[in-house]
Amino acid sequence: MKLFYTFFIKLYVLGIRLASLYNDKAKKWIEGRRDQDESWPPEQADKTRWIWLHAASLGEFEQGRPLIEAFKQTYPDQKILLTFFSPSGYEIRKDYPLADQIAYLPADTPKNVSRFLDGLSISIAVFIKYEFWFNYISQLLQRNIPLIFVSSRFTPNQFFFSSYGKWFLNKLQGVSCFYVQDRSSEELLRQHGISQVMVTGDTRFDRVVSLAQKTDSFPKIEAFINGRKVLVFGSTWPEDETHLFEAMKQVPDKYCILLAPHETHEKRIRSIESTLTLSHQRYSSSSLSSDSRILIIDTIGILSQLYQYADFAFVGGGFGKSIHNIQEPVAFGCPVIIGPHYSKFIEAVELIQAGGVRAVANGAQLADAINDFIYKPDLLNRASAICIEYARQNTGATQSIMTSIEDFMHS
């Protein structure tokens, strides 16, 4: 099975190489790793100790960011190595100032892993959420490097809990500790012979609550809002917008809408503009008029701060594969509406039960949810209070993890 796994990884890389002929993201995946191979390891890498954090993409980076800050403060004599699997994470955070070295994670073959780890003196490796790479795990354990997983969730349908995944499960039993989001993940791991597990919650709540406590101001957006109530439609995809654009027609004039699609390239923005029937502008315009109803956020990196202006929000992805991050609006006390595909996110499940989040299955239900939040202020205020309290109760994961790993760092 181990040989088959490595063979599959090589096939996967071949597939990306072929896709890179016509897909820009795949091209960056290949070229970024090729350029990195020529200059690896970093200069003087063998003369210092490294704390290595690995994130698949941007969302996982945000989960790991509070840990990076804590490591930097607690162990200032060690350097931070930050790696990404996806170009969408690397390209956006390649200049992140708290990391001493930012790199792509080479494909998970034994040769690549050896070359990547050789010459680095790693104090601890931190894999965020779901980054289960067999050859990396194997070599880290062989080199007696502490390895932890943070903000992870486990479900019975994951392949290493199946009869054909035991070879991988056996390797996971050597991990130093799993810091998981919920009790069900802890119980599942213990049922399969993994006792080195601790429920700490999701480190991303530490990040979003911190952001909510020190907001930036956006004068252009404030001029556009001009005293109106605000709806934020965040991280939307075409599947979401099919329902949203119809529902927004009934939103009263006293509301304006900040529309932040998940993708902001020119073709995508033009497609949105061609579909909208309400008056709209782009955020990138030199000046904004409060006469328009919709402001299209055609840039990345500011959505998390826009929820400070929202009376309530819709977070996209749920009418496609799965919802995007709802923790950011929740930290601002912003009630959220989401589509039907949310089961992978414990905060969505719990907040739906509590009343801070509304899940809808179609356009009619979406319109009803919007109307409820607009015309039932008591309902809106109660949902907002639920969100604030939920965020408050779910902070502290970073400190719990940092306290727990002291023994690993000094071993």
Coil, strand or helix at 207:
helix
Identify each DSSP E strand in 306-359 by its residue range: 312-315, 336-338, 357-359
Query: Is 329 in contact with 235 (CB distance < 8 Å)?
Result: no
Number of other residues whose CB lies within 10 A of the CB of residue 96 = 13
Q: What is the set of domains in the chain, with CATH numbers? A: 39-200+396-409 (3.40.50.11720), 215-393 (3.40.50.2000)
Coil, strand or helix at 84:
strand
Exposure on the CB side of residue 223, measured as CA atoms within 13 A: 10
pLDDT reported for residue 341 = 96
Number of other residues whose CB lies within 10 A of the CB of residue 255 = 17
Would you say the C-alpha torsion 18, 23, 29, 32 has a positive or negative sign? positive
Query: Is 181 in contact with 202 (CB distance < 8 Å)?
Result: yes
pLDDT reported for residue 286 = 78
Cα–Cα distance for residue pair 389/253, rounded to 1 Å: 31
Instruction: Kindly list the distances between the CA atom of residue 264 and the CA atoms of 141, 261, 282, 404, in Å, as whole numbers in the listed order.
Output: 41, 6, 11, 40
Cα–Cα distance for residue pair 178/163, rounded to 1 Å: 22
pLDDT reported for residue 287 = 79
Cα–Cα distance for residue pair 151/130, rounded to 1 Å: 9
Instruction: Kindly list the distances between the CA atom of residue 110 and the CA atoms of 9, 50, 107, 126, 159, in Å, as whole numbers in the listed order.
Output: 11, 21, 9, 19, 21
Cα–Cα distance for residue pair 189/205, rounded to 1 Å: 23
372 secondary structure, DSSP code: H
Tens of pLDDT along the chain (411 residues) come to 888 899 999 999 999 999 999 998 999 999 999 888 878 888 766 678 999 999 999 889 999 999 999 999 999 999 999 999 999 899 989 999 999 999 999 999 999 999 999 989 999 999 999 899 999 999 999 999 999 999 999 999 999 999 889 999 999 999 999 999 999 999 999 999 999 999 999 999 999 998 898 888 999 999 999 999 999 999 999 999 999 998 988 899 999 999 999 999 999 999 999 999 999 999 998 778 888 999 999 998 899 999 999 999 999 999 999 999 899 999 999 999 999 999 989 999 999 999 999 999 999 999 999 999 999 999 999 999 999 999 999 999 999 999 999 888 865
- Among 96, 114, 94, CA closest to 104: 94
pLDDT reported for residue 3 = 86
pLDDT reported for residue 35 = 86
CA dihedral 407, 57, 359, 306 (to 10 degrees): 100
Cα–Cα distance for residue pair 102/80, rounded to 1 Å: 9
104 secondary structure, DSSP code: E
The backbone region for 329, taken as left when phi is positive above 0, alpha when psi lies in -120 to 50, beta otherwise, is alpha
Query: Is 153 in contact with 179 (CB distance < 8 Å)?
Result: no
Pairing assessment for the beta strands 49-55 and 121-128 based on DSSP bridges: parallel
Query: Is 220 in contact with 341 (CB distance < 8 Å)?
Result: no
Coil, strand or helix at 291:
coil
β partners of residue 102: 82
Coil, strand or helix at 133:
coil
Pairing assessment for the beta strands 255-261 and 294-296 based on DSSP bridges: parallel
Cα–Cα distance for residue pair 176/187, rounded to 1 Å: 17
